[in-house]
Amino acid sequence: MPDQIADAAGDDPVAASYRQLADVYHDLLSRDGVEELLERLVKTVRGLIPVTSILVAETRIEERVLVPLVAEGDWPEDFLSTTLPFGDGLIGMAAERGRPILCNAAHLDPRAGHVAGTPDGEPEAIVSLPLVSGGVVIGAMSLYREGEGATFTPFEFELAKRFADAATLALQNARTRAELRERGRRDELTGLLNRRGFNELLASTLARAREDEVAVALLLIDIDDFKRVNDSHGHTCGDALLQHVSRLLDEATRHRDCVCRIGGDEFGVVLLRADTEQGRAVARRIEESVEAHPMLHGDEPVAVTVSTGAASTRETPPHAESLLREADRAMYRQKRERKPAVALRLVSEQ
């Protein structure tokens, strides 16, 4: 690697390496999604420092563990589903101390530990690097070079530390972008996906359903006579009712991210691998749950009902507009049929 760098910059490998790092910063920061960033990160570090294996993990600060994000090389099949305690192994020590570690004889160093399912006792050199942002360790990475005589030079160690700085900045930037995008998809009042999130969810679910050749059901849910609650009890109570109903929907569907608040007092539920009848079964469960669980406003119960409509790609063209139109028609058909009963209940409450 130093010879390659020297070729790129005459006889000054340090200057060439820092020009490469500048390109790395620009390249990594241009990556938008976390998965894309991690893929590029692995490819880039291999170009800078030849290694046999790479591990990148993020931290769960409260639990003091590292969660592997990407592991390239000879790792056990289920390794990405494990966690690594702070202080455990060289990468855990780097995360715990917030300082990089170079170990050119890791196979002889008891601090290195051993991951079950990987070769044990073979010559190995390891560089472990904390990813530190604003004084907080947000992750860690380890570079591995295996084989007889495997070592990392001081130059490569320094280069790896500078690369870790670039990786930290890029990962934090990608995470921030992802959080901002997610906030833009969430309803502030209920925490459910909002209209934008609903549109994205429905589109992605339909695309997946086409690929897997399965059905998608769409439910629309509307709170009956919601205006009465706002008029009688105030908008604070109305907001509390929306939160209350959203929790009931969450419990009834058992999958929060398929439930959306698409506007006002209207909700949507997107169900993969469900036909209209299965959608109606979920709708009935929702109706029964809302009716059986009135919200307490102070000491006063606020009872409401909901109208629901279901549509599925089994009977409706597999397009968002068609499903929305058919579910909306079904919902308002039910609302019209139930309106006399709802009106009678309201009169009896007065």
Angle ∠(21,25,27) on CA atoms, nearest 5? 110
- Told to judge if 265 belongs to the known catalytic residues of this protein, a careful annotator would answer yes
Sign of CA dihedral 20, 24, 26, 27: positive
Q: Is 188 exposed, middle or buried (0-12, 13-18, 19+ CB in 10 A)?
A: exposed
Contact between residue 90 and residue 126 where contact means Cβ atoms under 8 Å apart: yes
d(Cα 89, Cα 16) in Å, to the nearest integer? 33
**Residue 93 region by backbone torsions, left for phi larger than 0, else alpha for psi between -120 and 50, else beta:** alpha
Angle ∠(328,331,335) on CA atoms, nearest 5? 135
124-133 vs 295-297, strand pairing mode: unpaired
Residue 205, Cα to own-chain centre: how many angstroms? 16
Query: Across-strand partners of 129?
Result: 141
Q: Which of 265, 275, 299, 328 is catalytic?
A: 265
Q: Is 298 exposed, middle or buried (0-12, 13-18, 19+ CB in 10 A)?
A: exposed
d(Cα 217, Cα 246) in Å, to the nearest integer? 19
How many beta carbons lie within 10 A of that of residue 161, not counting itself? 15
d(Cα 145, Cα 119) in Å, to the nearest integer? 13
Specify the amino acid at residue 219: L
164: helix, coil or strand? Answer: helix
How many CA atoms, within 13 angstroms, populate the side-chain half-sphere of residue 316?
A: 24
d(Cα 137, Cα 95) in Å, to the nearest integer? 6
For the annotated catalytic residues, the residue numbers are 265
